[in-house]
Structure 1
């Protein structure tokens, strides 16, 4: 080999094969390090682009929700009298039974197994015959009744806990509730209003969406059976005004007794 060609090939050195091997290993290390850096840069760029897109979508969604909340559409509902038959998809309507009757299907089928039961009287004031939010409790069958048998109303939508519905029907429209449970948001089309009067109370199935109690009097007392921490850890709310651009109104069909 012509001595003038020495050094043109960094990994062929007739004087020392071990030095050539060391130089090659060093070069390979630099190449691998450069490739790792380039790969990490590419990953970071993809992540950054995804983040920017996500933020833009959040801003767009926020703008849409703000627009709907500023000028919501009013939906006028006609109350339905609450009976065992008409309210069956949402829970039970419990009326008076004879003393001595044994427990049966007409009694409230309660689920109070997920905590300490709480039975109390709640005083509500300044309610109107309309609503824009609706709530559900995933861990308890709540019972409500007016003390004195006065007329009152309840807005409802069917339970939509993921465990209670067909996942194919729900699709990707899934959200997480107050305690981490999964549910499908209620739709505007399925909202109903029921009228309660006389000596009866309502048992809401677990997960039934409800707005109220609502009434035209200045104040009203209700007995309420739920769990001791229902309002703290099991209170999931959907805003129709914010999410759907809709509010609901209805008229008092009769004067309270």
Structure 2
């Protein structure tokens, strides 16, 4: 039996547009008829067939040993329902994230995020037994554009979001 990995704590902050800017944009409700915004302009699903679907996840405790990125598309996520959730991210500009590169954000209900192409991420995480999320990416993102980096292999830790 192997010993459990030591943990690396990562404190989650409530997301703001400014804090999330290196990783993407924060989208909040706006009145119908609001003109197109710069935040919406980061969306890029031009590299293939867009896939807009409801993603169902179970038991996503806020801990991870791996981060993932998609180089060919942005990814937009939003929880279905009036529930907060959490995501961990690292900048797209780096090939191998360090523990210091990681940031965690609490995403309030009725808020979506669009991650820039190449943004490293882990999650979404949540306290509920299961949750559904609106997900916009490409039809083959999880097959042909799913690049992983193992934090446990490289740094010998399990990251725990607090």
TM-score range, shorter chain: over 0.9
Aligned runs of 1:16-27 on 2, under 5 Å?
none
* 1:151 aligned residue: 84
3-state DSSP of counterpart to 1:198: coil
Structure 1 vs Structure 2 CA RMSD: 1.4
Match runs of 1:109-120 below 5 Å? 109-120=42-53
1:189 correspondence with 2:100? yes
Is the Cα contact below 8 Å between 1:71 and 1:245 reproduced in 2? no
1:245 to 132, 156, 161: 156
Q: Check whether the contact 1:78–1:193 (CA below 8 A) recurs between aligned residues.
A: yes
Larger radius of gyration: 1
| Pairwise CA distance, 1:109 | 2.1
Which of 124, 127, 132 matches 1:216? 127
Where structure 1 has 5 or more consecutive residues not aligned to the other structure, the ranges are 1-68, 162-183, 252-257
Q: Report the structure, 1 or 2, having the larger helix content.
A: 1
Cα distance in 2 for residues equivalent to 1:100 and 1:137:
31
CA distances 1:181-227 after superposition (whole Å, capped 9, x unpaired): xxx21111111110001211000000000000001110000000000
Aligned counterpart for 1:81 among listed residues 14, 22, 35: 14
Q: Return the alpha-carbon distance in structure 2 between the equivalents of residues 130 and 233 of structure 1.
A: 25
Structure 1 CA distance for aligned equivalents of residues 161 and 97 of structure 2: 19
How high is the TM-score relative to the length of structure 1? 0.60
Query: Match for residue 141 of structure 1?
Result: 74
Of 46, 57, 65, the match for 1:124: 57
Partner of 1:4: none
Q: 1:119 touches 1:224 (CA, 8 Å); kept in 2?
A: yes
Question: Aligned to 2:35, which of 102, 118, 128?
Answer: 102
> Aligned match of 1:90 in 23, 28, 41?
23
CA distance in 1, matches of 2:41, 2:28: 10
TM-score w.r.t. the length of structure 2 is 0.94
Structure 2 alignment gaps of length 5 or more: none
CA contact (8 A) 1:124 1:219 kept: yes
User: Where do 1:192-211 residues align within 5 Å?
Assistant: 192-211=103-122
The residue correspondences of 1:58-77 to structure 2 (distance < 5 A) are: 72-77=5-10
Size of the aligned set, in residue pairs, is 161
Higher strand share: 2
Partner of residue 138, structure 2 = 227
